[in-house]
Chains A and B, each alone.
Chain A
């Protein structure tokens, strides 16, 4: 395994380590500094890389076997006992199988339980629908007290995991399965929970992204600049809840066109969260949501799936060109509007 540089994460690590591996290493660092941190997994210690923490702190790690609901209940008890649980299994088993424990045992009591869920979206592509999770953002967004984060890559995962330690209440961080290419080269770009990061300035259109689509949108923006002369704003909306309303409304005002991209069902996730803000503002703009179009995802390797559902840079470019070609004017003729 690649040598890691300790508490600071660089593109070197992100190129050689998965999001989950970086999470495991970061948790070890955090565990050294904070004796209250405990780890839990449900026969997913190796897959989620929380095993790194378990290997280092065997007395502070519990593998409960294949019993996710019990794991989340136990984590609630540990938090009630004054500890700081980090809990990891796949996103599907976190937010669907254990939805009620996460909601009732953890969120209802506003407990400091930090959930890092792997294999989110369609990142476990070939495994099929049982192991996909294109519903987790919708589910966790609807749990009061919950903070919901979808990091762009391994570097941002490191930032999110570090930030959640001192962020009050339950936090849900969804990461992928493995070898998603990194966007960030280093950590010090100003990550703050609840604050979008503008990764490309632009005035013609805004692409609001989270997770794997951040890198793809950044690449798309470059091509659209070079080939189409378009000025494309790209926002990394890593925090889905609480969402950065200011950044969204600024985009509405300044670019008049917004498309959201997410590895999630188009209902209930990032796109819906952004739409809520736009609708409530009373200000209109051209708007589209791109994600998994309310279906169970086909089987395939993730990169093929992202391409299939228009979440890779080619798909993003095509969608931008489509929306830019549509009419959107500040006139009274509704017939020709987007």
Chain B
């Protein structure tokens, strides 16, 4: 179902808040993977505020939908989403990266409520998501598994082992989403290790591929709805995004894969995000 105007307005409000929270958390953390956190804001916002059957009061509810953030370095983007959803108080993010904090750069499922799987080492998440989806099917459970990958992460061979197995097992209860922001630590993805023809690779591995503007709630909604309706096998959504989205001096800048910001830069970043949302 296409988004209503009211839904779109609410999602934009959430995304604005989450982008601001990511900036704050980056300051509190003393540095963070802010670029790739900003590029996936719409993906996570849409999942958590439209699609996911989850209950923040019962994070271990066994029939909840599952999310695997395979690009685990996106923790600084994920934790604010969980806070906004109500899994924990936003104040707790002030401890991000600090001594004995439950929040490290790569979120630990044993410590952070709402995180289904501990990730951080790239290329691991899709295999785990395949296991979750197989587990749901074996037990006749209707919960859905979403796996969010980075594009640079798709250099890892295990992504393709997992991709092969997801289509072999005809997993039609699994949606893969690649945050295609086209940058990695050492440069442009096509310069460091060419991924293209990216969609064709996934198709060759037996996935049905949808390419969308990863900052458009409308396009993401259409693709996710489609992934739910497709019965023949797994669907991959290539979400074309901009690394650092919303912060003018970070957008498409390789160096903002990971960075620190002080209060002056944070203020500039907030202003830029406010401008993006017409605030």
Beta-carbon contact of A74 and B131 below 8 Å: yes
Of A62-70, A135-143, A177-185, A281-289, the one touching chain B: A62-70
Q: A45 → chain B, closest Cβ, in Å?
A: 15
Beta-carbon contact of A74 and B139 below 8 Å: no
Tell me, in angstroms, the Cα distance from A108 to B115 when the chains sit together.
Answer: 14
Most buried by A among B62, B127, B128: B128
Tell me, in angstroms, the Cα distance from A110 to B108 when the chains sit together.
Answer: 12
Chain A residue at smallest Cβ distance from B157: A69
Beta-carbon contact of A65 and B165 below 8 Å: yes
**Sample (25) of A-B pairs whose CB atoms are under 8 Å apart:** A60-B138, A64-B165, A65-B165, A67-B158, A67-B164, A70-B162, A72-B127, A73-B128, A73-B162, A74-B127, A74-B130, A76-B131, A77-B130, A80-B116, A80-B117, A81-B131, A81-B139, A82-B62, A83-B138, A101-B127, A104-B120, A108-B118, A109-B109, A109-B110, A109-B118
CB-CB < 8 A to A76: which residues of B? 117, 127-128, 131
Q: B35 → chain A, closest Cβ, in Å?
A: 24
Interface residues of B in 117-136 (CB under 8 A from A): 117-118, 120-121, 124, 126-136
0/1 per residue, B44-64, Cβ < 8 Å to A? 000000000000000000100
0/1 per residue, A64-97, Cβ < 8 Å to B? 1101011111111111111101000000000000
Beta-carbon contact of A67 and B161 below 8 Å: yes
Beta-carbon contact of B132 and A81 below 8 Å: yes
CB-CB < 8 A to A67: which residues of B? 158, 161, 164-165
Chain A residue at smallest Cβ distance from B143: A81
- Extra contacts besides A74-B134, A77-B117, A77-B134 (18): CB < 8 Å: A62-B134, A67-B164, A69-B127, A70-B127, A70-B130, A72-B127, A73-B158, A74-B162, A76-B117, A77-B128, A78-B132, A78-B134, A80-B66, A80-B117, A81-B135, A82-B139, A108-B118, A109-B118
Tell me, in angstroms, the Cα distance from A59 to B169 when the chains sit together.
Answer: 11
CB-CB < 8 A to A81: which residues of B? 131-132, 134-136, 138-139, 141
CB-CB < 8 A to B132: which residues of A? 77-78, 80-81
Tell me, in angstroms, the Cα distance from A69 to B157 when the chains sit together.
Answer: 10
CB-CB < 8 A to B66: which residues of A? 80
CB-CB < 8 A to A70: which residues of B? 127, 130, 158, 161-162, 164-165
Is A187 in the interface zone, CB < 8 Å from B? no
Is A204 in the interface zone, CB < 8 Å from B? no
Is A219 in the interface zone, CB < 8 Å from B? no
Q: B72 → chain A, closest Cβ, in Å?
A: 10
Beta-carbon contact of B135 and A82 below 8 Å: yes
CB-CB < 8 A to A59: which residues of B? 138
Q: A1 → chain B, closest Cβ, in Å?
A: 29
Q: A54 → chain B, closest Cβ, in Å?
A: 14
Is A105 in the interface zone, CB < 8 Å from B? yes
User: Can you list the 3 inter-chain pairs with the closest CB atoms, starting with the nearest?
Assistant: A77-B131, A81-B135, A73-B127
